Amino acid sequence: MTKPQNESKNTELRENQVIVTAKRALGINKFYIAIAIIIGFGVLFFLNPTYVNLSIYSNSSNHSINASMDMKTPIGGNNALGVPLLAVPFSVLPMMMLTTPMVILFVYDKDNGVLEYLLSLGMTQRRIYTRYLKAALLIAGAYLLIFGTLNLLYSFVQFGTTYLSTMLVILGIGALIAVSTVAFIITMMMIFSSLQKSRSGGNQPLAISLGLVGVLPGYFIPFILSYNTAIVVEIVQGAIIAVVALSLILMSPRLINREKFLP
């Protein structure tokens, strides 16, 4: 009975440490939280895919949204540009903003010897790494849950169940790319010490800029591809980022050495 109880206590302690790490990161600078919330509500009210479709693909530019609904304006289609998918990269952006404090916290802890202290207590590099990774994914998941629910409620209140399936597809693609990008940023930052350094003129470590590279195509794809094709391309984009991030996570015990956690 003693061993299971000890394991349970250790598991609870690790879980609490993840929550503590997430709280510490969010407490570093409220600016990132404010920007993420502003972008989130911007996507909700201005880039909501149902609103974009009704605005662009209505039969007449003079028709109101209600009139377009009565005429059953189609979502996307083979000949329609994938403009509604512009909501995807703008949904990922807030989660990258919320990941920035986590990256800054890791650099702060490294420079101030916190990671060295944890290593001296017998913690492995992987245990330390997973603490920050899980905390970043916890924050991203919380954002997805809150704003994903708000988007679905907004779509339901405004248009009923007509466009919920479209909303679910776009939210799903956004979640895939966002979670994969967050995992990629955190892992790459810990593998390469050069990515922990701030870029010139800013305090965001270079790892954040690297994450933007993977999201950048999402800002152009909706304007050059049809809706159906853009969906496929963005799913492939998210899958590639996910595979790369997962591969790095699996190789992290070999790639993240002790020296990278020392001041």
Q: Indicate the pLDDT class of residue 196, thresholds 50, 70 and 90.
A: low
Q: Both tokens of residue 236?
A: 């492939």
Please state, in angstroms and rounded to a whole number, the distance separating the CA atoms of residues 14 and 17. Answer: 5
In whole angstroms, give the CA distance from residue 215 to residue 213: 6
Q: Are 205 and 189 in contact (CB under 8 A)?
A: yes
% the chain with pLDDT above 90: 19
Distance from C-alpha of 263 to C-alpha of 116, rounded to nearest angstrom: 8
Task: Provide the CB-side half-sphere exposure for 253 (13 A, CA).
Answer: 4
* Residue ranges covered by each domain of the chain: 2-261
The rounded Cα 16 to chain-centroid distance in angstroms is 22
pLDDT digits (tens, 9 = 90+) for 105-147: 888 888 888 888 888 888 888 888 889 999 999 999 999 999 9
Least Cα distance to 43 among 209, 35, 9 occurs for: 35
Average pLDDT, rounded, for the chain: 77
Structure tokens at 36: 């993420």
Q: How confident is the model at residue 49 (pLDDT cuts 50, 70, 90)?
A: low
If you search the block for the tokens 């059953």, which residue do you land on? 72
pLDDT at 199: 53
CA-closest candidate to residue 130, choices 257, 252, 6, 13? 252
* Residue whose token pair is 């992290």: 252
Q: At 83, list the tokens.
A: 């403009």
